[in-house]
Amino acid sequence: MQEVPTEEQQYLNLRSSSPTENLDGDNLYNLGNKYTKLRPHTREFLQKASGMFELFVYTMGGRDYARDMVKLLDPEGVYFKNNVNVASKDDSTDRKRKNLDVLAGPNERNTIIIDDTDYVWEKNRKNLIQIPKYKYFTDAKLGCKLNKDVDEEDDALMSFLDVLQDVHRTFFELYPVPKDGVALREYAKSVDVTPILESRKSAVNCLK
C-alpha cells in the first residue's frame, strides 16, 4: 500500500473501487486515499489453497493495516474467520521479524510460509517458500510509479499453487492421518513438512 504522485491519480481514480465492489474486476482498490493492487489470481489462489490448508495472514504492517487487508482479501470471512488467523508487527516479539511462535496452531513441523521477504523469517527459514515480489507500484526517484504491464506476465501465484498441491499430496502420502484419537496425538508430533519443502525448493527457485 503506497501513496502515489498526482499524475497517477486520475488513472487510479478511474480504475479503482472500494473493497466491497468489483471483487472480480481489476483488483485495484481505494482504501482511504491509498491504493492497493491485488496480485493476479489472488482470489483463485485463496479459494484453492483454503481447501488444503488452514490460512493465516502475517504482515509487518500494524493491526489497522492487517485488518484492512483481511477485509479486502476475505470480505465474507471465509478464510480468516474472526481475525483469529491474523497477526501484525504489533503482535511480534521483535517488530522487525516474524516468528511462528505468535500464531496459535502453526509450528515448524506443520507450516508452510509464503512470503516475498526472507530475512524477516530468521528463525523459520526452512518453512519458507519465497515468492517473487509483485511490483505494480514501483519506487522511482520522482515518486511511486505504476507498472501497468506487470499483470500480463505475473503468474506466480498459480505456479506456487502447483508446488503447494504437490507438497500437500506428498505430505499425506508420507503421513496418512490415523483415525484413532490416541494415535492422532502422536501423529501430530511425528509429522514434518520441512524435508518435503527442502526437496521442492529447486523447483520453486526456477519460478523466481
Q: What is the pLDDT of residues 91-142, one digit of tens each?
A: 998 889 999 988 888 889 999 999 999 999 999 999 999 999 988 877 655 4
Is 70 exceeded by the pLDDT of residue 186?
yes
**Other residues' Cβ atoms within 10 Å of the Cβ of residue 193:** 20
pLDDT of residue 183: 82
Is 80 exceeded by the pLDDT of residue 63?
yes
CA 202 vs. chain centroid, Å, equals 20
pLDDT of residue 115: 96
pLDDT of residue 75: 87
Is 70 exceeded by the pLDDT of residue 60?
yes
Separation of alpha carbons 154 and 134, rounded Å: 8
Is 90 exceeded by the pLDDT of residue 143?
no
Separation of alpha carbons 104 and 41, rounded Å: 28
Which of 121, 71, 115 lies closest to 92 in space, CA to CA? Answer: 121
pLDDT of residue 6: 63
Is 70 exceeded by the pLDDT of residue 193?
yes
pLDDT of residue 5: 61
Please classify residue 133 by burial: count the beta carbons closer than 10 Å to its beta carbon, then call 0-12 exposed, 13-18 middle and 19+ buried.
exposed
Angle at 171 between CA 168 and CA 176, to 5 degrees: 115
Residue bearing cell 507438497:
167
Mean pLDDT of 15-44: 73
Is 90 exceeded by the pLDDT of residue 188?
no
**Other residues' Cβ atoms within 10 Å of the Cβ of residue 8:** 16
Separation of alpha carbons 1 and 192, rounded Å: 35
pLDDT of residue 20: 54
Is 60 exceeded by the pLDDT of residue 207?
no
Residue bearing cell 525448493:
201
**Other residues' Cβ atoms within 10 Å of the Cβ of residue 122:** 12
Q: Which amino acid, one-letter code, is at 163? A: V
pLDDT of residue 205: 60
pLDDT of residue 93: 87
pLDDT digits over 149-185, tens only? 777 678 899 999 999 999 999 999 999 988 877 687 7
pLDDT of residue 4: 56
**Other residues' Cβ atoms within 10 Å of the Cβ of residue 61:** 14
